[in-house]
């Protein structure tokens, strides 16, 4: 085998053989295939695609590059969830303890934010003392004692994907659906969960802008899960408008705790419950009512135990940004549009996100919304509040919000977009 022949096969729209795929993934992980060669192959895959057999084999090869976790010692069935990322997407925070309160175990391996999309680990690290890095033994212990764990993936899990992901980020090949699907699913399958629910975002604030692309990605990932013996379901969900009323790390933790306390924004509650029901069904947990677990405080109890088990203080005050800037409504009427991408970029520019993986983030930075599409607003009333520790960032963030919203005449009818658009199984 050699890298050039593998590249030429895909360049010329051929089908990579199982042997070619196994070899190139293993050789790249070991450093025998150079970054520039894998870049050329990734671009050929972006332009010419892969069939289901190729994607399945590519995913299997990435899984085989590292270890596989095993949760068979647990007394509960396991269920996990993965979101393709969005703005204000804090769903994992209330969802994991909620599903655990209903009887399933949730081994949630999460990531950090990059660009305009937030990261679950960044949000949780705004809680004093909370640790994202756990050994496999620690992860299993937290899962066994609390029913849920949210932590970073270890270096031994699909190392080929970790290397390839970084390369795709700097070579313009992030958008290749076969590579997105295999990246997500290799980690989730290696993680060892028994069932998986995918939250595939669609809209301006999502990676997939069109319903057609989102449907293709979701179908590909559901097929991969099925091929590897993991019961997998996908929901296509709206990301044209930010989820909830906050985009930022500590801001989103605060809102998540409100949901666990039985309150919170209606769209966050709706999506949390929809995903919880899918996860419980996929895990085979019957007769559990996640709405009841939110209302009676049992989900909050799991949250507190989970945070404490990872070194966090669930009673500690969350960080608050030193500076705020209020954007007021320029006219009275009905807010008909609030662009998720632009809000996400503003939060990123305020310090809630990062441009490179090694960049620090501000725990208190972000955007707080005072209205969502369909709400009546009054001229001069607060529309958004920007939060940051570095006030010189306000002008930069404000530029991203120019033209990010529309206000129509008072009384204008507004048809809300459903939170859940489609289900793919």
Q: Quick check: is 209 catalytic?
A: no
**Does 300 score more than 80 pLDDT?**
yes
Q: In this prediction, what percent of the chain has a pLDDT beyond 90?
A: 90
Mean pLDDT within 47-73: 95
| 121 and 229 inside one domain | yes
Q: In this prediction, what percent of the chain has a pLDDT beyond 70?
A: 100
Distance, CA of 240 to CA of 187 (rounded, Å): 27
- List the catalytic residue out of 80, 122, 161, 238: 161
| 231 and 278 inside one domain | yes
| 199 and 344 inside one domain | no
Q: Quick check: is 11 catalytic?
A: no
What does the pLDDT read at residue 174?
A: 83
At a CB cut-off of 8 Å and minimum separation 6, what does 205 contact? Answer: 86, 87, 116, 117, 239, 240, 241, 242, 339, 340, 341, 343, 344
Q: Quick check: is 161 catalytic?
A: yes
Q: Quick check: is 123 catalytic?
A: no
Distance, CA of 391 to CA of 322 (rounded, Å): 9
What does the pLDDT read at residue 131?
A: 97
User: Is position 415 within any domain?
Assistant: no
User: Is position 420 within any domain?
Assistant: no
Distance, CA of 211 to CA of 417 (rounded, Å): 13
Mean pLDDT within 111-116: 81
Q: pTM for the complete prediction?
A: 0.94
**Does 115 score more than 80 pLDDT?**
no
| 261 and 329 inside one domain | no
User: Is position 62 within any domain?
Assistant: no
- List the catalytic residue out of 10, 90, 163, 187: 187
| 276 and 336 inside one domain | no
What does the pLDDT read at residue 355?
A: 76
What does the pLDDT read at residue 302?
A: 98
**Does 401 score more than 80 pLDDT?**
yes
Do residues 287 and 102 touch, judged by C-beta distance below 8 A?
no
Mean pLDDT within 272-285: 97
User: Is position 159 within any domain?
Assistant: no
What does the pLDDT read at residue 344?
A: 96
Distance, CA of 240 to CA of 326 (rounded, Å): 23
User: Is position 422 within any domain?
Assistant: no
| 148 and 90 inside one domain | yes
**Does 358 score more than 80 pLDDT?**
no
Q: Could you give the C-alpha distances from 340 to 71, 198, 374, in angstroms and in order?
A: 37, 20, 15
Distance, CA of 156 to CA of 136 (rounded, Å): 10
What does the pLDDT read at residue 106?
A: 97
* pLDDT classification of 247: cutoffs 50, 70, 90: very high
* pLDDT classification of 93: cutoffs 50, 70, 90: very high
Model confidence over 166-202: pLDDT tens digits? 898 788 898 899 999 999 999 999 999 999 999 999 9
User: Is position 90 within any domain?
Assistant: yes
**Does 5 score more than 90 pLDDT?**
yes
Mean pLDDT within 146-161: 92
At a CB cut-off of 8 Å and minimum separation 6, what does 22 contact? Answer: 57, 61, 64
| 237 and 95 inside one domain | yes
**Terminal CA-to-CA distance of the chain, rounded, Å?**
37
Which of 21-25, 240-244, 348-352, 359-363 is least confident?
A: 359-363
What is the number of domains present in the chain? 3
User: Is position 68 within any domain?
Assistant: no
Q: In terms of residues, how long is the chain?
A: 425
What does the pLDDT read at residue 21?
A: 98
**Does 118 score more than 90 pLDDT?**
no
Distance, CA of 371 to CA of 377 (rounded, Å): 7
C-alpha torsion sign, points 213, 81, 43, 208: positive
Please give the residue range of the domain that contains residue 272: 80-154+173-309
* pLDDT classification of 255: cutoffs 50, 70, 90: very high
* pLDDT classification of 304: cutoffs 50, 70, 90: very high
Distance, CA of 307 to CA of 290 (rounded, Å): 20
Q: Could you give the C-alpha distances from 35 to 17, 168, 196, in angstroms and in order?
A: 21, 10, 32
Mean pLDDT within 134-156: 94
* pLDDT classification of 116: cutoffs 50, 70, 90: confident
Model confidence over 320-331: pLDDT tens digits? 999 999 999 999
Q: Quick check: is 82 catalytic?
A: yes
- List the catalytic residue out of 82, 90, 228, 393: 82
- List the catalytic residue out of 110, 183, 240, 298: 183
C-alpha torsion sign, points 216, 183, 268, 113: negative
- List the catalytic residue out of 10, 57, 123, 168: 168
């Amino acid at each position: 085998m050699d890298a050039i022949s593998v590249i030429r096969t895909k360049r010329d729209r051929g089908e990579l053989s199982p042997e070619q795929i196994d070899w190139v993934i293993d050789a790249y992980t070991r450093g025998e295939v150079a970054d520039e060669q894998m870049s050329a192959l990734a671009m050929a895959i972006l332009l010419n695609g892969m069939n289901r057999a190729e994607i399945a084999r590519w995913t299997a090869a990435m899984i085989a590059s590292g270890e596989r976790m095993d949760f068979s010692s647990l007394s509960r069935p396991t269920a996990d969830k993965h979101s393709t990322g969005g703005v204000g997407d804090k769903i994992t925070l209330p969802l994991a303890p909620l599903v655990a309160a209903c009887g399933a175990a949730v081994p949630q391996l999460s990531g950090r934010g990059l660009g305009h999309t937030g990261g679950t680990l960044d949000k949780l690290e705004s809680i004093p003392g909370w640790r994202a890095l756990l050994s496999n033994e620690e992860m299993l212990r937290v899962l066994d004692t609390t029913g849920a764990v949210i932590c970073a993936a270890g270096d031994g899990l699909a190392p080929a994907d970790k290397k390839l992901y970084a390369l795709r980020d700097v070579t313009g090949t992030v958008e290749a659906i076969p590579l997105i699907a295999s990246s997500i699913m290799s980690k989730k399958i290696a993680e060892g969960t028994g069932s998986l629910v995918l939250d595939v975002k669609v809209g301006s604030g999502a990676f997939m802008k069109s319903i057609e692309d989102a449907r293709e990605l979701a179908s590909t990932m559901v097929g991969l899960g099925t091929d590897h013996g993991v019961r997998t379901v996908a929901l296509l969900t709206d990301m044209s408008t930010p989820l909830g009323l906050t985009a930022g790390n500590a801001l989103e933790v605060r809102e998540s705790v409100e949901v666990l306390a039985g309150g919170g924004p209606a769209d966050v509650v709706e999506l949390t419950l929809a995903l919880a029901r899918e996860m419980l069904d996929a895990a085979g947990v019957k007769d559990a009512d996640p709405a009841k677990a939110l209302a009676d405080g049992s989900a909050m109890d799991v949250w507190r135990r989970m945070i404490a088990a990872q070194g966090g203080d669930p009673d500690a005050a969350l960080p608050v940004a030193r500076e705020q800037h209020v954007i007021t409504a320029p006219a009275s009427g009905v807010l008909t549009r609030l662009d998720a991408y632009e809000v996400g970029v503003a939060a990123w520019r305020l310090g809630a996100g990062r441009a490179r993986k090694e960049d620090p983030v501000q725990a208190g930075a972000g955007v707080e919304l005072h209205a969502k599409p369909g709400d009546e607003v009054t001229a001069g009333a607060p529309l958004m509040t920007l939060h940051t520790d570095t006030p010189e960032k306000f002008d930069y963030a404000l530029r991203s919000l120019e033209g990010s919203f529309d206000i129509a005449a008072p009384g204008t009818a507004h048809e809300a977009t459903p939170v859940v658009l489609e289900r793919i199984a």
